[in-house]
Structure 1
Amino acid sequence: MAAPRSVNSWDIVIQRVGGALYMDAREGCSLYETHVNETAVDAPDDEQKENPMNGMTALAAEAGDVNYCYTQQCLNKTQAPIPADVGPEDLRRAWGSMPPDVATPPQGKVYRYRKFALSDELTVVVRCEVDAAMQTRDDKLAYLTVKALNEFDSKLSGVDWRQKLESQRAAVIANELKNNRNKLTRWTCQALITGSDYLKLGFVSRLHAKDNQNHFVLGQQLYRPEEFAKQIELKTDNAWGIVSSVCDMLMKLPESQEDRYLMVKDPNKQLLNFYRVPKDAFEGEVEDDAADNQVRDEDHDSDFDA
């Protein structure tokens, strides 16, 4: 949904079974990485020899840690969790019955499965994440999507949060929209799809520009996802239109029991490429000649002008 605003490359594995499409992230791909200043004029790269902590990969890892820690810090650890008492008993207790050696979701995170009818022929089912819940003033339960923007060097970002965050928060958001347009769009789409009542943004800065291990939470703000979408000029109809167009295109690809498809976003271009790959291509080591079996279908390149 946010693909037109992305700069870095990412990919999604697609399996077609009859009239259904299954989309998932490939293990180890960059789809879920929290890139920093991806859409900035001078975007970080991994050639920062003098200051490697400000390289693209290092900043993404730092931002991922900051987001996780901020999400956990927002939770009230003394209050009992609010049960997601929806669905069959065996589904509600699924995570509780998992073996101890199987990874469980982070504390406070809840998965919701939501269905969207985009047309008479197309229905999309999405697994969404809720980061927290809170009681509103009228004693109603509100779901939250919690994210953190992080400042690593005010000289490079253009706006000093310590000086501008309280007095000129709109200027800070505008600058972040310029530098992190894709990230903010993805988070907003996530909040909208999840059905969150609020998008909670934290503003986290390094203790010192040369210290990427210690951080301060300088402020936080609650937004209604629908209102924030308008603020960042995100048109939800266009976002869903991209989903619909991609699904229509994928349904035209031949079904195969032996192969899957890989949808790859070209770096620095608003272009999607589709590759047919062996079904077990990402389940273990692939022999060198497996790359020769990957067939690119030139007729199914796609731009985002849907």
Structure 2
Amino acid sequence: MASFSLPKIHDNPDGGWGPSSSNVPEQLKFKDIPYAPYSKSDKLGRFADWNDLTSDGRQTNTGPLAATNTRGGAGRGRRDGAQAFGSGTASAFSYFHIEDESSFSVVDNKAAPPRRGGGFARGRGSARGNSSFASRGTSRGGSRGGYNTAPRSGGQRGGRRGMRDWEKNNRTRESSVAISPSWQMLEEIEFHRLAKLRLDVDEPEDLGNYGRIFPYDKSYDRITTKTEKPLQSFDRLKYNTTTSDDPVIQQLAAKNTAKVYTTDVILSVLMTAPRSVYPWDIVIIREGDNLFLDKRDGGMFDHVTVNENAADPPQDPTPSNPNNPQDKQTAPDTPSINSATDLSLEATYISQNFGFQSVVESSAPPPVDFAHPNPFHGPGETEPLASCGYRYRVFDLGITEDEDIKLCVRTEVDAYVPGPGNPQDGHGLITIRALNEFDSRAQGAGGAPDWRSKLDSQRGAVVATEMKNNSCKLAKWTVQSVLAGAELMKLGYISRVNPRDNSRHVILSTASLRPTDFAAQLNVSFANGWGIVRTVTDLCMKMPEGKYVLVKDPNKSVIRLYAVPMTAFTTEDDEGEAFEGDEPESAA
């Protein structure tokens, strides 16, 4: 029969943990305790050194009493080159891999090519890793088995970055309009939700054409960098009236021609909203069943942005703190001509004057007068009008035949190309825009190549860079051209005479683009743009009558709809007050 007997217990009645040494027999005192030979000259450090490599290439683990040098690394051994005492003998604390790795081989056994560039040494570096800038591309301290600190971005990863790059992503922009605490936020829509909207819209219906347009001067198509032409300044009168103040739209609204009224400038911003980076705002007025999309005077709609979509766009200088005397001393005396605000004003000046200069204001070929005169030009105006034609068109945004949601938009064309077609019927109409180069080496240039050396030989590289840095601006111009029914868009390349002087410019080249084809190159989806317009329209139609403002967040990819008082953004002539409940916005 099986039996069980208790083992002998070495009790310690005097207290303490474990058996007393007096109760343990002498022959059992050191039984089953492994012995690791060591030298008294070695320092006792780690319990286990996983970086220690023996002479046969296997990784070993040393125990508490093993003689491991605390500064040792991958197979270094003793500092004097001699083998550490006891490291060559088998130890009870040594680790041996069971699997046989002798048959293992690397597929690509070629030596890695040496890294080039970077400005700092990329070899072994400092012997002790005490230099903060030395050998950033290698392990710290050479081959001591330390951690790898290979750079995440450098010459081999898209170019070196500049000093204080950590500040560039933390810079914040101011909103285009001061958000009053009394405003009520009604809706917030992220850009990724807007990018999923789709709506197919048929061809528009023309309601009427107004104004006078001049023929385009074809000699500007033959300009090259070797035959550059100076940009001249012209005094011409061109109106950019908001929607509610348009007398033609007021007449159309009285006849209930449509439910939504706007201009092509405002509509293009809304249709390309997911591309925008700079802040903007649209004032929305609900009157009965009608919806008016307006702009504010002096807002971003009256200016042209520069390199808005660049990885490091132009920035405005940080305003100095008046309470800090040190900021007053370090503040520059003269502002930079390459700041975001100055570049925007410069680009607006260039685009307007290029449109005025590139048309022929003579009797041959003659100008074309549309069926109606310019609706904004009064009888007392003496300044000559610029070449501009206004086309009022209606788009049907209804999804089904029962829906009656029509949008009336005022579009603009800048000139016409003489040909067999009649411009009054919409043939040969063009829009004129201009891209500007300020300084390819300045902050905010976005890696743009020098136009004078690359525009003729590598135009594709220049266009690709502009499509990347000015994606939103080019998309808005293309949408405006398509909405107006223009057959061509003339795009001028204008640069400074001297990069340090923003007052003199030259025309280097002019490109002719078909808006529909250029929209495909820019990946502009009109179905997505109309889906955004329909979503905002439905959202505002659900609201009661009143005034609202759609604001793009200055630092986030989101738009917000606020309910504002009817007195917001209006001027009181009787009381001489400026904007009520609002402060003048800063230019984008």
TM-score for the superposition, normalised by structure 2: 0.45
- Report the Cα distance in structure 2 between the residues aligned to 1:261 and 1:67, rounded to whole angstroms: 31
Counterpart CA distance in 1 for 2:413 and 2:518 is 18
Amino acid at match of 1:62: E
Distance in 2 (CA, whole Å) between partners of 1:184 and 1:105 is: 29
**Which deviations, in whole Å up to 9, do the C-alpha atoms of 1:38-84 show, x marking residues without a partner?**
11111111118576110011000000000011000111012332111
CA deviation after TM superposition for structure 1 residue 93, in Å: 6.1
Summarize the Cα distance change of 1:146–1:105 in structure 2 as closer, same or farther, 3 Å threshold.
farther
Percent identity between the two aligned chains:
41
What is the match of residue 405 of structure 2? 122
- What amino acid does structure 1 have at the position aligned with 2:490? K
| 1:54 counterpart letter in structure 2 | N
CA apart distance, 1:280: 2.1
1:219 matches 2:509:
yes
- Tell whether the 8 Å contact from 2:481 to 2:489 is kept in structure 1 after alignment: yes
Q: Deviations over 1:174-198 (max 9, x none)?
A: 1011111110010001001111111
Alignment correspondent of 2:531: 241
Q: 2:389: which partner in 1?
A: 110
Residues 355 and 414 of structure 2 are in contact (CA less than 8 Å); yes or no, is this contact kept in structure 1?
A: yes
Q: 2:568 aligned with 1:278, yes or no?
A: no
Contact between 2:413 and 2:429, CA under 8 Å: does it hold in 1? yes
Q: Which amino acid aligns with 1:47?
A: P
Q: Which residue of 2 aligns with 1:63?
A: 347
Alignment of 1:176 with 2:466, yes or no, is yes
Displacement of 1:276:
1.6
Worse overlay, 36-45 or 114-123: 114-123
Cross-structure match for 1:190: 480
Is residue 2:266 matched to residue 1:266?
no
Q: Which amino acid aligns with 2:464?
A: A
Structure 1, gaps ≥5 residues long = 86-90, 292-306
2:282–2:293 CA contact under 8 A, matched in 1: yes
Q: CA deviation at 1:126?
A: 0.5
Contact 1:14 1:22 in 2 (8 A): yes
* Pair 204,123 (structure 1): closer, same or farther in 2 beyond 3 Å: same
Aligned residues: 279
1:135 aligns with one of 407, 410, 418: 418
Task: Name the structure with the higher helix share.
Answer: 1
Q: How many Å separate the matches in 1 of 2:352 and 2:376?
A: 20
Match of 2:408, SS state, is strand
Which amino acid in structure 1 is aligned with residue 506 of structure 2?
F
The structure, 1 or 2, with the larger RCO (C-alpha pairs under 8 Å, 6+ apart) is 1
- Describe the superposition over 1:248-297 as per-residue Cα deviations: whole angstroms up to 9, x where unpaired: 111112223xxx11111112322111122221222223687x47xxxxxx
CA drift at 1:13? 1.0
Cα drift, residue 95 of structure 1: 4.6
Distance in 2 separating the partners of 1:187 and 1:210: 28
Moved more, 103-112 or 141-150: 103-112
Cα distance 1:94–1:41, how it changes in 2: closer, same or farther (>3 A)?
Answer: closer
Name which of 137, 145, 152 aligns with 2:438: 152
d(CA) in 2 for partners of 1:118 and 1:42? 38
Output the aligned Cα RMSD: 2.1
Query: Secondary structure in 1 aligned to 2:300?
Result: coil
CA displacement, residues 167-220 of structure 1 (integer Å, 9 cap, x when unaligned): 121211110111111100100010011111111100000001001011110000
* Larger strand proportion of the pair: 1
Contact map agreement 1:11 1:31 (CA 8 A) in 2: no
Matching residue of 1:84: 370
1:75 to 2:365 alignment:
no
